[in-house]
Amino acid sequence: MQYFSTNNKTIKADFRQATVQGQPSDKGLYFPERIPQLPEDFIKNINNYSKEEIAFEVIKPYVGNTIDDASLKKIVDETVFFDFPLVKISDSISALELFHGPTLAFKDVGARFMSRCLSHFAKDEKRRITVLVATSGDTGGAVADAFYGVENVDVVILYPSGKVSDVQELQLTTLGKNITALEVEGSFDDCQRMVKDAFADKRLNEQLYLTSANSINVARWLPQQFYYFYAYQQWQNEAAPVISVPSGNFGNICAGLMAYSSGLPVQHFVAACNANDVIPQYLASGNYQTKQAVYTLSNAMDVANPSNFVRILEIFNHQLPSLKNAISSYSISDEETVAAIKEVRSNYDYLLDPHGAVGYVALRRYLNEHAEQKGYLLETAHPVKFNTEEFTGYKVEVPSSIQHLLKKEKKSTRMKADGNELKSFLLGEKSLV
């Protein structure tokens, strides 16, 4: 399998190069030359496969011959060792719970898969690899956990100061060792811009071996397809589901669209956005206009210029009518988010996190217009990571997997939203307080 840059299709790489490099030199994103088509028998008999077997079959064509089958199976086994239950909320709406991994967020799948791929590839490298990643919330913790202690790899995480939850911040700032957290005085979009500028800097890349663990990296983005297949394996209805995906940087829903394009039955996708409504506005008007990011309760989705949307355009050959046939998108306010958390807790005894609540409202809005259909939303993070008690009066029990974090002290380095300052820090030319 070869990958081309979304900015220049003559720039190509195999899976290994795309993973280690992270992003093409022209600031595009790597995209596969073809979308593999899964055998009809695989979909028809999906109940006969284990989670590990499904993941291997889905990802193998993308990896090609860059990783031998035995090593890839081991990587997959270590990636999907936890559960992905599809839980019924109401007669028409279910929730796919993606928070049963080590950091209680859907990012655990992509982060663990990528860390193990990179560890496999790093064995042949003569210098240390530096993983540079921006986070709006859950990516940082998942990447920190997945890469902690990985030999020959250093991780530098940028996050917007004051714009991630307390638990999220502890997850990415308390590990130490090969993990460094940079607290940026700005938004997630500032963090993402700084990371992209670093990858495009020739001098920096001559001195450091940089790669990214954001969903711009194919090894972080593509394995997110797995849980869409796990959901279908549990889907009890004859008609294919409508899938509502809380969407910020659009990597997750893009992975779902790849699964759909490979043969997974899906009725329709709903891109559930918060007040950062660039994509809902684009689908409504046909005009793509970026804005400043707005801070919301669903902070991991506070993205005003989603990187992965260009990949979605590639899937649909940049044809807006085809895209609109497959995706609807809604912007959900904080007020609607809070109301949904309260309502679902009261009426169905189910607790949504703010991101799942955005997905719930958007899905319900779509199903109100298509009463004969049913669907599920992606519950992307455990409610304990957010202050849902403020809305519901219900105290969430802290899972044992993160109780130890509450006793730890955060260790981060503050930084202005300045790309040059980041480069100086990475090169060891400037120390920061």
* Predicted confidence pLDDT, tens digits, the chain (433 residues): 999 999 999 999 999 999 998 889 888 999 999 999 999 999 999 999 999 999 999 999 999 999 999 999 999 999 999 999 999 999 999 999 999 999 899 999 999 999 999 989 988 777 788 999 998 777 888 889 999 988 888 999 999 999 888 888 998 899 989 999 999 999 988 998 999 899 888 889 889 988 888 788 999 999 999 999 999 999 988 899 999 999 999 999 999 999 999 999 999 999 999 999 999 999 999 999 988 889 899 988 988 889 999 999 999 999 999 999 999 999 999 999 999 999 999 999 999 999 999 999 999 999 999 999 999 999 999 998 887 787 778 788 888 777 888 788 899 999 999 999 999 999 987 554 4
DSSP structure string for 171-207 = HHHS--TTEEEEEEES-HHHHHHHHHHHHT-HHHHHH
Residue intervals in the chain for CATH 3.40.50.1100: 83-105+220-392, 128-207+398-432
Asked if 400 and 170 count as a contact pair (C-beta separation under 8 A), the reply is no
> 83-105+220-392: which CATH number, 3.40.50.10860, 3.40.50.10680, 3.40.50.1100, 3.40.50.880?
3.40.50.1100
In this prediction, residue 433 carries a pLDDT of 46
- Within 8 A by CB and 6+ apart from 319, the residues are none
HSE (side-chain half, CA atoms, 13 Å) at 368: 6
Q: What residues are paired with 129 via a beta bridge?
A: 153, 209
- Within 8 A by CB and 6+ apart from 55, the residues are 76, 79, 80, 223, 226
Per the residue annotation, which of 12, 73, 107, 385 is the catalytic one?
A: 107
416 is catalytic: no
Task: Provide CATH code, domain 128-207+398-432.
Answer: 3.40.50.1100
CB atoms closer than 10 angstroms to residue 305: 17
Quote the pTM value: 0.89
